[in-house]
Amino acid sequence: MSILSGARIIVGVAGGIAAYKAADLVSKLTQAGALVDVVMTERAREFVAPLTFSALSQRPVWADLWEPTGAAAARHIDLGRAAQLILVAPATANVIARLAHGMADDMLTAIALASSAPLVIAPAMETHMLAHPATVANLATLRERGAHIVPAEPGRLASGEVGTGRLPSTATLLGAARLVLGSGGDLQGRRVVVTAGGTQEAIDPVRFIGNHSSGRQGFALAEVARDRGAAVTLIAGVTALATPYGVTRIDATTAATMRDAVLAACVGADALVMSAAVADFAPDAVAEHKIKKREVAARDGADMTLRLRRTPDILSELDAARGQFPGLVRVGFAAETRAVQAAARDKLARKGLDLVVANDVSQPASGFGSPTNAVWLVRRNGELTELPLLPKETVAEHIWDEVVALLPTRAARA
């Protein structure tokens, strides 16, 4: 279950043109199971009608602290108290200034002041307003007090100018919410390394040997580890997926570069989950120029023979150098098309792993690119758990549960 499921989140919407984008944010948070209370500033209501947000959140929208029934005034304390997170998106220069100075002159600032929930602020405004020393200082004040600031993005602004000041995408804002909500999770203070996607081994400047890995399981592993408080290094092979918010991504698209990246990232790390599909063989030599049929025919006849050499086996190298990685929990994957469990047990022993996640990639619902996966978890003591077909995110939760149980205590590591 996602960390957003059941989470009490206040979304504060301030009066900037990006207020319309907050509608998508509220929709996605609600779809993910969060209980979203939208609080709008007076100016925000000039950009978007409160009804838009109440329809999306299926909850009342709070706007006017001073409305005559007194309901809003009565609720601002308990709304603030119940909230697990206050996410202000978009945050205008004005609302940032009022938050930084502890003002409580409307519903949003009053709730923020009455709440001890973590504050996430996504500034969105014209470039000069964002860069003004007053805004910079106000953001610094909020940051010092523990607020998490989601950086505004560069691009075309409502003024028609190009500059920094755009509200980040809904995916980024959701990632920031998940990061902050999960910061006290069971991987808090841990550093984990995840590899994802497939490698590509060049034949010539145009062709390569690759595989069907999409990177989805690995990216889900990185996101879930972040949601549980870990500092995550994601070593990505070839994938079309966007970098999850708050995750450090290193691109490594060949077996050799991935080996170097993994060995470097694992120094001082607590766990490695190696979900990347690493090529076992690469062309012996990379042709400098595009290979021409005519040249092949002149040399070898009509057909071409490609000589392949073994690539470094990353997990085996790590096992051989285990002294350099004290306490590192190591998880491997076994993507097979037959005798899955036997192959998984063999890999676990051969690569000195703590856990192998095995799946049958010949099954369409657990194959490459699918949003779901059906895996066996094979443990070092020979125990095996078969998980049903699950979303890759849920599979990731199970894998981290196993890792958490295996993590040596800090005292044991020391």
Between the alpha carbon of residue 161 and those of residues 49, 116, 156, 396, the distances in Å are 27, 38, 6, 42
Helix (H) or strand (E) holding 373: strand 372-373
Does residue 4 sit in helix, strand or coil?
Answer: coil
What is the closest distance, in whole angstroms, from the C-beta atom of residue 107 to ligand CTP in the complex?
Answer: 51
Phi/psi at 179 (nearest 5 deg)?
-60, -50
What is the closest distance, in whole angstroms, from the C-beta atom of residue 244 to ligand CTP in the complex?
Answer: 19
The packing angle between helices 170-181 and 21-31, to 10°, is 50
What is the Cα–Cα distance from 217 to 273, expressed in whole angstroms? Answer: 11
Which letter does DSSP use for residue 62 in this model?
B
Site string for ligand CTP, 205-244 (x = CB under 6 A): ----------------------------------------
Residue 11 as a binder of ligand CTP (CB under 6 A): the answer is no
Pick between residue 228 and residue 351 the one whose CB is nearest to ligand CTP: 351
What is the closest distance, in whole angstroms, from the C-beta atom of residue 100 to ligand CTP in the complex?
Answer: 47
Catalytic member of 211, 359, 373, 381? 211
Pick between residue 72 and residue 255 the one whose CB is nearest to ligand CTP: 255
Pick between residue 176 and residue 271 the one whose CB is nearest to ligand CTP: 271
What is the Cα–Cα distance from 376 to 378, expressed in whole angstroms? Answer: 6
Residue 175 as a binder of ligand CTP (CB under 6 A): the answer is no
Pick between residue 292 and residue 309 the one whose CB is nearest to ligand CTP: 309
What is the Cα–Cα distance from 62 to 150, expressed in whole angstroms? Answer: 24
Tokens of 224: 């879930």
Nearest CA-CA partner of 317 in 353, 354, 351: 351
Catalytic residue check, 211: yes
* Nearest 10 degrees: Cα torsion 83, 84, 87, 93: 70
**Strand-pair category, 390-391 with 271-274:** unpaired
What is the closest distance, in whole angstroms, from the C-beta atom of residue 369 to ligand CTP in the complex?
Answer: 17
What is the Cα–Cα distance from 192 to 287, expressed in whole angstroms? Answer: 37
Pick between residue 88 and residue 194 the one whose CB is nearest to ligand CTP: 194
Q: Which of residues 305-334 bind ligand CTP (CB under 6 A)?
A: 311, 313-315, 332-334
What is the closest distance, in whole angstroms, from the C-beta atom of residue 332 to ligand CTP in the complex?
Answer: 3
Q: Which of residues 337-356 bind ligand CTP (CB under 6 A)?
A: 347
Site string for ligand CTP, 246-285 (x = CB under 6 A): ---------x------------------x-x-x-x-----
* Residues lying near ligand CTP in the complex (CB under 6 A): 255, 274, 276, 278, 280, 311, 313-315, 332-335, 347
Q: Which residues are catalytic, by number?
A: 211
